[in-house]
Structure 1
Amino acid sequence: MSRSSALGRSRQRGLSIIEVLVSMVIGLVVVGAVLLSYIASGQTNKLQAAYSQMNEDAQIGLLILSRDLQLAGYAQATGHDPLTFQFGRTYSGNAVFGCDTGFVAANTTAAVACAATGSSPAIEVVYEGDVTNTVPTSGGLPSDCLGASLTQQTVGATSFYITRNRYYVANSVLGRPELHCASNKAAATGGALVDNVEGMKIWYGEANPIDKRQIVRYVSAANVLDPTFANVVSVRVCLLMRSSEPVLTAEDPSTYLDCDSVTQNSADRFARRAYFTTTALRNKMTF
């Protein structure tokens, strides 16, 4: 055998088993690191998307409630009393009314009544509705929170419309918690406004009877001193939002603060967060 043939065969020698195994291990480590990074990035994006959706839904829900509360007690003036220097009003009843246990029937045509038991509160917001502070119907009439036309009322020579929007939390037919609204319209059974609202809590700011602009305390509906809620000039609302699907893993923090700022645990892996707003009842304030 010539020397050149031996050198050719030595140059064609392949990898040893050890070299192949080392290369495979290095490759698996690299692939594993990339895979873990991809999974972690996907979970982070999933959580961010869930919290972004919760933020958006909470803003919509609180905006709806805050807007209606700013109108609570609104009514047109109907005349001036020269002795008392006060204007008459088309509506002078409750601006708001609430129940810590919810309403017996949110869509009753009569006055709402508190349920004997229940864990979710409800609130009724009342004001004179017109085509500027409500969404007009196709017939050009003021509407309630579900878009149903209001019924005209007449006192003396004055005709007007009263809005009675009632907000509460209920489950959909699929079991998803939602912020609902109903009114005193006979055909209005209530409808969903915002999805994934798991809970709601409401506190009422009572004014000093002497100084109507000075709020002395925030209490639940059961602790409001005046049963007509006449001294309530502000309302604080908390919405407890839930993600639309389980997004938490075993590595993610599963605790959250509820509407009472108490730490709770999401054992079902749904993300949750509490959102707050406080609204002054401008038509109840004395300026």
Structure 2
Amino acid sequence: MPGRRQRQQLSLLQGAPVKPIRIPSARSSRGMTLVELLVAMTIGLFLIIMVVTVLISTTTSSRVSVLTAQMNEDAALAIELLQEQIRLSGFSGQTAGARHFTGVPLIGCDSGFTPASESGPFDQLACNPGNGADSLAVRYEGTGLNSQLVGNVPPLLPADCTSSGVAAADPGTGTAISLIDNRFYIENDAGNANTPSLYCRGSDGAGGFNQSSALIPNIEDLQFRYAVTRMPVAGQVMPHQVTAHVDASDPALGNVLLNWSRVAAVHICLVARSAQPVPLGDNQVVDVGRFVDCNDVVQNPMDRFVRRSYRTTVFLRNARPAVPAAFELNGVVVQNPYRHLSSSN
């Protein structure tokens, strides 16, 4: 039986039609036209623009989120620090029922302490005029239970707000203690591009003060209001009922040291800002900067920094007895450990 090749040869000899080989024409092998090329380039460019737009938007949103998160963290740290210090104000140990520290626990100024009095005695603190950021001074007995202990050799000393040791001295009660006297205020930090920061200066316990220290950056404003009770009466337990919420310059306080024994709680408000200006993206600069300040006034700064106000209220747990009544034991009235806050002193 003939093979395939033989059959093909036989078919050629018998005159069978042979299928012609097709050669591509010049027209069928041509490339893209100019119009087609322009359309393809336009589509490609559109896709590139879409990808870049999404990338920029995502990067902007991410950058704003990072800066806002950092701002919230700075504010939280500042609030926590101030809360801790205010709660400690007035803390004192006792010996045979007598307190080691019997002074007024805190005092504040609406626009900051004057430079001349800022590092002076507690009872001589004076206030700046105007409406700037507030300052606050708090005092308490420092111990290993409420303060960091510092030093190279025993006995270690309780530290102030700048982590410097506070020497022991007698505050007038017959017992030597490390009396912490921390003073908080807002100032531009020259070592950090003049960034507004929460500062503190603490006493060294020997009549002087340690170098001030910037604690937390990007804190622009600090405002305090004070919950005050009625005036104390000599020989009676300190009153508990709050009668007003006032500023430091209010006549209820009036920067008179005795009046500050009326303070039962402190309301804190601070304004924090982002570490850097934020990218605008699709936002307007007026929308980025808008915030409500500590006086409940809407502000619209145009510098592209994000700002927010943060608030809390702290009760002075060491400046009031637990119950608004005389201290009794088996029906016998005992000495009131809070008598130092009465108007008799």
Q: TM-score, normalised by structure 2?
A: 0.75
The Cα shift of 1:102 comes to 0.5
- 1:133 counterpart (146, 149, 152): 146
Alpha-carbon separation, structure 1, partners of 2:251 and 2:50:
60
Instruction: Find the aligned partners of 1:230 and 1:156 in 2 and give their Cα distance.
Output: 18
In the TM superposition, residue 250 of structure 1 has moved relative to its aligned partner by: 6.5
- SS of 1:63's equivalent in the other structure is helix
Equivalent residue for 1:279?
314
Give, as a single letter, the amino acid of the residue that structure 1 aligns with 2:280. Answer: T
Identity fraction in percent:
28
Q: Which residue of 1 aligns with 2:223?
A: 201
Instruction: Provide structure 1 residue ranges, at least 5 long, that are not aligned to the other structure.
Output: 80-86
Deviation larger for 59-68 or 253-262 = 253-262
Contact 1:120 1:169 in 2 (8 A): yes
Structure 2 distance, partners of 1:24, 1:224, is: 76
**Correspondence for 2:65:** 48
Structure 1 residue aligned with 2:240: 213
Question: Which is strand-richer, 1 or 2?
Answer: 1
Determine helix, strand or coil for the equivalent of 1:177: strand
> Deviation of residue 224 (structure 1)?
5.4
Write the letter of the residue equivalent to 2:321. Answer: T
TM-score scaled by structure 1? 0.90
Aligned to 1:97: 107
1:184 and 2:184 equivalent?
A: no
Q: Counterparts of 2:60 and 2:89 in 1: how far apart (Å)?
A: 43
CA RMSD of aligned residues (A): 2.1
Q: Which protein shows a greater Rg?
A: 2
- The answer to whether the 8 Å contact 1:196/1:244 transfers is yes
- Partners of 1:60 and 1:142 in 2: how far apart? 21
State the 1:92 CA deviation.
Answer: 1.6
> Residue type matched to 2:177 in 1?
F
Partner residue, 2:11: none
In the other structure, the counterpart of 2:41 is 24
Equivalent residue of 1:36, what SS? helix
| 2:274 paired with 1:243 | yes
Moved more, 272-281 or 250-259: 250-259
Number of corresponding residues: 278
SS at structure 1 position matched to 2:26: helix
Select between 200-209 and 171-180 the one with higher mean Cα deviation. Answer: 200-209
The letter of the residue matching 2:301 is: S
State the 1:208 CA deviation. Answer: 4.1
CA separation of 1:109/1:130 partners in 2, compared to 1, >3 Å: closer, same or farther?
Answer: farther
Distance 1:57 1:110, change over 3 A: same
Give the secondary structure class of the aligned counterpart of 1:38: helix
Cα distance change, pair 217–250 in 1 and its aligned pair in 2 (3 A): farther
Within 5 Å, give how 1:134-153 maps onto structure 2. Answer: 134-138=147-151, 139=153, 140-153=156-169
Query: What's the counterpart of residue 124 of structure 1?
Result: 137
Distance 1:33 1:163, change over 3 A: same
Separation (CA, whole Å) in 1 of partners of 2:321 and 2:86: 16
**Cα shift at 1:240:** 0.5
Structure 2: runs of 5 or more not aligned: 1-19, 233-237, 323-345
